[in-house]
Amino acid sequence: MAFRISLGSYVPADSVLHRLDPRSKIVCGLAIMVSVFFIRTPLQLAFGWLVALGLVLMSHLPTGKVLSSIKPVIMVLLVLSVFNLLLVNTGTTLVAAGPLRITTGGLWAAVNYSLRLVVAVIAATLILLTTTPTQLTDAFDALMSPLTRIGLPGHEIAMVFSLMLRFIPTIADEASAILDAQTARGGALAEGSLVDRVRSVIPIVIALLASSLRHANGLSRALDARCYEGGATRSHWHPLELHARDGVAVAFTCVYVVALLALGGL
């Protein structure tokens, strides 16, 4: 419970983003994420944000849900901003106090680097929140099919990824229960020398490892019982199918990227 992480797990809703084919969703999302690194001017930033917010609205997700999913990343970005503010010294000086100098360049870097990354984070979060793990697996499976063709386990990698998403909360609960139990037995984490600290982690890590193995054992029995035999013979409840809307989505993404780059040249 202490460890409960909100890892952008699927939130059902009825929206275009939910209905989009996961493959086109991932490709478009990646394009948007890469494009933010070309944002240099305030106009570009405003455009990027406009599109990101538009996408949030289109997703029909509760805003709180999106916010709570990106909150942890925002914290990191804030720290990053402070560094940018203090370390980038281009442009005219605004404030100077001893060795510290805040310049216009620093201010812009602090604002731009963080805000443009938020756009990327929003894009990534929307993919996770609007796509079921099964769809994600299928999409990865499809996108990795070139790997399968050259003999790499594309489908299996996708399946492992999906199981990982599924088991993170379970293992996190387990970890917190074991941590409780060992704390109650007087085992204190963060105390004493480095050696002491490493030693104090052992009772938790070993117990958690044993627990995970127990889960792995159970899971393998379940996969056998449900006749999972890898990708070849499987059918799909919702087979991936490209619709007109996927074409539209890809087209819009292209237009967005081109427009963004063009705005940079103005």
Partner 1 sequence: MDQPLLSLDHVTLRYEHGIQALDDVSLNIAAGERICVLGPNGSGKSTLASILCGLLAPDEGTVELLGERVFDEQGIDFEAYRRVRRSLGLVFQNPDDQIVTSVVEEDIAFGPENLGVPSDEIGVRVARELHRVALDRYAKADPNNLSGGQKQRVAIAGALAMEPQVLVLDEPGALLDVRGRRGIMRVMDQLHEAGTTIVHVTHFMEEALAADRVVVLAKGRLVLEGKPAEVFSHGNKLTELGLEEPFCARLAEALRAKGVNIPWTCDEGELLASLSRTAAAGTPSKDPREVDCSTMSGGSDNPSERSESAIRSTGLTYSYGDTDAREARHPALDDVSFAIPRGSFTTIVGQTGSGKSTLVRLLCALETPDAGRLVVEGIDTSDRRRRRQLHGRIGYVMQHPERQLFAETVLEDVAYGPTNLRLPPAEIERRCANALAQVGLTGREQASPFHLSGGQQRLCALAGILAMEPDVLVLDEPMAGLDPHGRTQLRDIIARINAQGTTVVQVTHSMNDAATSQQVIVLNEGKLLMQGAPEEVFTADTRDALHTSGLGLPDALTWALRLEANGLAGLGSPLTLGALVDALVAEASPAPEPEEVSARGL
Binding site residues, partner 1, CB under 8 A: 1, 4-6, 9-10, 12, 68, 132-134, 162-163, 165-166, 169-170, 174, 177-178, 180-188, 202-204, 206-207, 210-211, 215, 217-219, 221-229, 233-239
Query: DSSP character for 38?
Result: G
Do 7 and 113 touch, CB atoms closer than 8 A? Answer: no
Token pair listed for 237 = 């409840």
Find the shortest distance in angstroms from Cβ 96 to partner 1. 41
Integer Rg of the chain from CA: 23
Rounded to the nearest angstrom, the gap between the alpha carbon of residue 233 and the centroid of all alpha carbons in its chain is 31
**Closer CB to partner 1, residue 146 or residue 192?**
192
Find the shortest distance in angstroms from Cβ 224 to partner 1. 5
Find the shortest distance in angstroms from Cβ 65 to partner 1. 9
**Closer CB to partner 1, residue 190 or residue 225?**
225
Distance between CA atoms of residues 133 and 195, nearest Å: 40
From residue 164, give the alpha-carbon distance in Å to each of 15, 73, 81, 88, 243: 26, 21, 32, 39, 30
**Closer CB to partner 1, residue 216 or residue 248?**
216
- Helix H or strand E segment including 257: helix 244-265
Distance between CA atoms of residues 75 and 79, nearest Å: 7
**Closer CB to partner 1, residue 45 or residue 179?**
179
3-state secondary structure of 73: helix
Find the shortest distance in angstroms from Cβ 99 to partner 1. 38
**Closer CB to partner 1, residue 54 or residue 72?**
72
Distance between CA atoms of residues 105 and 137, nearest Å: 43
Token pair listed for 242 = 């490209």
- Residue 116's identity, in one-letter code, is R
From 149, 123, 160, 156, select the one nearest 260 (Cα to Cα).
123
Find the shortest distance in angstroms from Cβ 2 to partner 1. 8
**Closer CB to partner 1, residue 41 or residue 134?**
134
Find the shortest distance in angstroms from Cβ 59 to partner 1. 15
**Closer CB to partner 1, residue 41 or residue 176?**
176
Find the shortest distance in angstroms from Cβ 175 to partner 1. 10
